A and B are shown apart, each in its own frame.
Chain A
Amino acid sequence: MDPLVAAASVLAAALAVGLAAIGPGIGQGNASGQAVEGIARQPEAEGKIRGTLLLTLAFMESLTIYGLVISLVLLFANPFAG
């Protein structure tokens, strides 16, 4: 593989997973914190709050997974490797 392509791929992989984790990380932190606060305030609604949290976290985490896939493909199955 061309060293320039290899270096660019590694940089792109790092940026892809790093940038893709920022937004969902902040969102998941906020959502989890609020959910735990809600459960402490209303323990009788624990099941519903946890259910909503599960769906929300799954949606948010898929954004991180997209970045992860891009970086893994760039590292292990690079389409630009001649």
Chain B
Amino acid sequence: MLIGLELTNYALFSHLSLGLTAPDVAALDDLSAVGEFYPLGQLSAIVGKNDSGKSALFAALGFLSDCLIHDVPFASAAGTRGGFAALKTHGSEGPMRLSMTFRKDRETFLTYSVGLDSDVHNRPYVKDEDVLLTTFKDGKKETRTLLQVAGGEGKVVARNGEESVAMVDRRHLSLGAYGRLLNYADLCWIYAQITRWFIASDDTEEEPLTGHTKGGHRHVSPRFDNIRNVLEYMEREDPRRYEETLAYIRERVPDFKRIGDAFLDHGQRSGSKRLFSLLLLLTDPKPRPLLCLDYPDQQMYHDAIDVLMFEIREYLRRHPTCQIFLTTYNPNTIEALRPGEVYLFERPEENSSVKVHAVGRSEKVRAMLKEGIGMASIWYGGYFEPEPK
């Protein structure tokens, strides 16, 4: 599980800190104190005014994932990203830094930190990269460096000891190399996490369409444009499961008529199609570790939102190590959330840095919810914002 992250000098985040971050792991004395750092849980919802950076967070995760799967220059230019110079915070000094904290199991924390910068020609390169493993065994805390690379050189820890690292170029992340080799088990684990993130947001809109190719697709694509292919695959692979899944979804999508060409060819814009696609995504037997859904409740009637939120809860219950991040400004969605799941993004002035407030920290919010006041009313009353000092 991704329990925390830090972004430095990425787009409008000069510094963004969410959940339990790398410095927090370093400061952690005891597993019982984890809650005090408000780690990200299975469901995290980001609310905030327009242009407060909500979608930019998903873009950052997508960027990191692409850097790992491909390389930094490719990732910087892919889709609508516009190159590294456009991604790095304007006027920032120092490299861009992306830091992810994972909790692999109750006692095991892995942090992955990447520093990226560009040369005089604005060509991006990997400045530094490291992976730290922190374990708590029998109350004893141990931290080991599994990977440490700077300037293209460093060291990595394999099963049988330490090895030196020498990258052929500065375009590729070392994790991209070692994470593909089973001999480096923990690095493989992190690589599998990050590269399997599902980022459904407007940033992915410009990518080549996958849906117009023929044939079965196993998984729903982040553009939600291969529904037909996924259904085809499912029908061929396991007809019984196919019928069951369709019946399950049909019962839950209000106004569902039948799956015909007309239904499937409507763009993602239609609320019913959107709900259908999301429910199909949630039935995936091999779910992704993290789904990032940008305004999944767009254009959805309130009863459809109730269905979506329930199915999200059920999905997370079935898959205790899976996570969903979503952005929203719909009161019906917010009504279905708990304080600990909500993060408010604020950008006080147009060019200032984004501030994050974990609503779970507010005793007032928790107390009001306990007394039966709904989250939407609490939000309307402005209680998601931090208290004035």
The reply to whether chain A is a binding partner of chain B is no
Identify the A interface with B (CB < 8 A). none
Identify the B interface with A (CB < 8 A). none
